[in-house]
Structures are given as structure tokens and as C-alpha cells.
Amino acid sequence: MKPHKPLCHWVCFFWLCCGFARVFAQVQREDEDGGGWRSSADPTLDDGGRCNIPVLDNISYKDFMERFAFSGPVILRGLTDNTKFRRLCSKKNLLREYGDRTVRLSTANTHSYRKVDVSFREYVENFLRPQAHDALGNDTLYFFGDNNQTEWQHLFSEYSPPPFTLPHTTRATSFGVAGAGTGVPFHWHGPGFSEVIYGRKRWFLFPPDKQPHFHPNMSSLSWVTHSYSSLTLEEAPLECTIRPGEVLYFPDRWWHATLNLDTSVFISTFLG
Ligand SMILES: *[C@@H]1O[C@H](CO)[C@@H](O)[C@H](O)[C@H]1NC(C)=O
Ligand SMILES: *[C@@H]1O[C@H](CO)[C@@H](O)[C@H](O)[C@H]1NC(C)=O
Ligand SMILES: *[C@@H]1O[C@H](CO)[C@@H](O)[C@H](O)[C@H]1NC(C)=O
Ligand SMILES: *[C@@H]1O[C@H](CO)[C@@H](O)[C@H](O)[C@H]1NC(C)=O
């Protein structure tokens, strides 16, 4: 009998188990940490908890139509459960499934959308970084919208959009991933919903008849750092930060700008 042999088996078995447990714990941690997308938060981006948009749980369609659909933004909770979709949007999973696909990036300014095609992997590795405070919107490339609905169909089919629609409209989905400090400067279009899957997104809105002052090539970040702080009380926007599980509704033609506080994964449902 040589006792060291079975001992080695046990040691190796124990060692392997530890390895598996570590990998499992890492996957779990990644999920809790924001799907592996988390970047170091920039405290200057924070909203200090300001929120003057109603945040409502489990609102009925009737309530939504009467109080918000045609009159003002609202943040809705409890509309849908996108836990599974969220898991599919982890960094590891999206890179595995879509890393080699071509995505179309747009400049983050108000009018002139320059478009650039790169692989999703290249976007994540080379473009997805915290935005510099002095970068211009027209020089910043952003992945949002212009999604190839055929290639991304498998993922998008797992998304439960907000169940509310408006009469005579159809839904169109736009998906994006963007770095901390990026965002789209003020613009307007038809009504829709925006949901954050990972990260946090700060929103600024003005009614259609109250156009904010902004330079069309200025980044959202630079508007927040330079213009926002000098607004008077009457000039102040409606604003709030949305987090995973929350959906912001914006009515037709409302001016809006966004600022991603973290690296964020997000999806919008436009009612066209
Ligand atoms: C909203 O609905 C969910 C699911 O039906 C329920 O678990 C939750 O308690 C509700 N929240 C409120 C504030 O009513
Ligand atoms: C971006 O906009 C600024 C100011 O409007 C302009 O000076 C600059 O040339 C633009 N950059 C590009 C790449 O077009
Ligand atoms: C914004 O940038 C675009 C190109 O990036 C340029 O053509 C345009 O003139 C700039 N607009 C202003 C108002 O400077
Ligand atoms: C979308 O992807 C499919 C499959 O890869 C491709 O055949 C098609 O040309 C793409 N459509 C656009 C608009 O790029």
C-alpha cells in the first residue's frame, strides 16, 4: 500500500472543486456587478439624487393614457421582467454571440450623424471608454440604433418591451452599449420608451415649446458641466436617472438629452 496515491486523488479533487467554485462565483459576481460592464464611476457625473419626474410602480394602461401618454414623461417600474434578457446582455455573452458582427456607430451630436462601421468586438475594446470632458459630440462615436434586426433577432426576441402602445403606432427597437460620460445631446422625435439593462442613464427633458440652449456639436457631458449648472429655476429641465428595471416614457416631440453615468446597455422602443 502506498498512501500518497489516494491522498493525491483527494487533493486533486479538492483543488478542482475549488477551481469550479471560483469560476461559478466569478460568473455570479459579474452578474451582480453589472454583467461585466461596470466601469469606475465618475462622481462628477452624478445627479445628487435629483429627480422631478414621477416614478410609478405597476401603473395601469388607463392611468398611463390619461396622465402621461400625451402630456409628460414618466418613469415606470414593474411593467415587464427582463431578467433573462439582462443575462444575455452580459459583456461575455454579447462578445461571444456578436463580437464578429459589424455594428454601425453614429456621432453623438444633434444634426450631422457621421456613421462608422466596426466589428462589435472592436467597438467594445477600442471605443467603449469613459468620455473625456472636452470631447465634442461630433467627434464621439456611439453604438445606438442602426441595429441589423436580422442578425440581432435572436437577442431582441428575448426582450419584453413595455406593453403600452399608442393608437396608430408600431414599435421599433434600438439597442445600444456606451461608455460612462457618453450620451446624446438635445434632440426630439416621436414618443417612446427607454429602458436600461445595465448601468445608469441620466435623462434631461423639456416640453416641445421650451427649446433648451445648446450647441449642436457639444457633447451631453459638456452641456451638463457648462450649461446645466447656470440654468435658473424656470429654465431647469425635468430630470432623473434610470436604473435596470426602470423604463422612461417620453411623449411626442419632447426635447431630451441623455448621459450614461456608467458603461450602460440600453434599449429603446420608439412608437412610430
Ligand atoms: C407590482 O407588481 C409586482 C408583481 O405583480 C408585485 O410583486 C409588486 O409588489 C407590485 N408593487 C407595488 C408597489 O404594488
Ligand atoms: C466638430 O464640431 C466642431 C465645432 O462645431 C468643429 O470645429 C469640428 O471641426 C468638428 N469636427 C469634425 C470631425 O467634423
Ligand atoms: C458640427 O459638426 C459638423 C461636422 O462634424 C459640421 O459640419 C457642422 O458645421 C458643425 N456645426 C456647427 C454649428 O458648428
Ligand atoms: C443584416 O445582416 C444580414 C445577415 O448577416 C445581411 O445579409 C444584411 O445585408 C444585413 N443588413 C444590413 C442592412 O446591413
Residue 216 pLDDT > 50: yes
In testing the pocket of ligand 3, which one of 112, 114, 136 has its CB within 8 Å of the most ligand atoms?
112
Domain boundaries along the sequence of the chain: 15-271
Question: To test the ligand 3 pocket, which listed residue (217, 218, 219, 222) has its Cβ within 8 A of the most ligand atoms?
Answer: 217
For the residues 240-265, what does the mean pLDDT come to? 96
pLDDT tens digits for range 234-243: 999 999 999 9
Compute the distance between CA of residue 199 and CA of residue 244 in angstroms, rounded to an integer.
Answer: 7
pLDDT given at position 7: 54
Proportion of the chain above pLDDT 90, given as a percent: 72
Q: Residue 8 pLDDT > 60, yes or no?
A: no
- Quote the ligand 2 centre to 138 CA distance (angstroms): 6
Strands 74-77 and 55-57, by their bridges, are parallel
Q: How far is CA 134 from the centre of its chain?
A: 22
Q: How far is the CA of 163 from the centre of ligand 1 (A)?
A: 16
**For range 10-27, the mean pLDDT:** 58
Q: Cα separation of 176 and 85, whole Å?
A: 14
Query: What per-residue confidence (pLDDT) applies to 17?
Result: 57
SS3 category, 15: helix
pLDDT category, 1, cuts 50, 70, 90? very low
Q: Give the number of the ligand closest to the Cα of residue 80.
A: 1
- In this structure, are residues 246 and 195 in contact, taking their beta carbons and an 8 Å threshold? yes
- Do 238 and 80 touch, CB atoms closer than 8 A? no
Predicted local distance difference test score (pLDDT) of residue 113: 75
> How does residue 15 score in pLDDT terms, banded at 50, 70 and 90?
low
Cα distance between residue 204 and residue 220, in whole Å: 10
What mean pLDDT do residues 149-171 have?
A: 96
Ligand 3 centre distance from Cα of residue 160 (Å): 38
Instruction: Give the global pTM.
Output: 0.86
Main-chain phi, psi angles of 178, to 5 degrees:
-150, 160
SS3 content of the chain, % helix, strand, coil (to 5): 30, 25, 45
Mean pLDDT, rounded, for 44-57: 91
Q: Which of 258, 270, 86, 266 is nearest to 193 (CA)?
A: 270
Give CA–CA dist 120/168, Å, rounded: 34
- What is the rounded average pLDDT of the residues 164-187? 95
Q: Is the pLDDT of residue 268 over 70?
A: yes
pLDDT of residue 108: 84
Mean per-residue pLDDT over the chain, rounded: 89
Residue nearest to atom 13 of ligand 3 (CA): 216
Q: How confident is the model at residue 19 (pLDDT cuts 50, 70, 90)?
A: low
pLDDT above 80: residue 156 = yes
Find out if CATH 3.30.465.10 is the number for domain 15-271.
no
Looking from the CA of residue 136, the nearest atom of ligand 2 is: 1
Question: 106 with 144: CB under 8 angstroms?
Answer: yes
Confidence of residue 250 (pLDDT cuts 50, 70, 90): very high
Q: Which atom of ligand 4 is nearest to the CA of 151?
A: 2
Over the range 109-136, which residues count as b (16 or more CB within 10 Å of their CB) and which as e? bbeeeeeeebebbbbbeebbebbeeeee
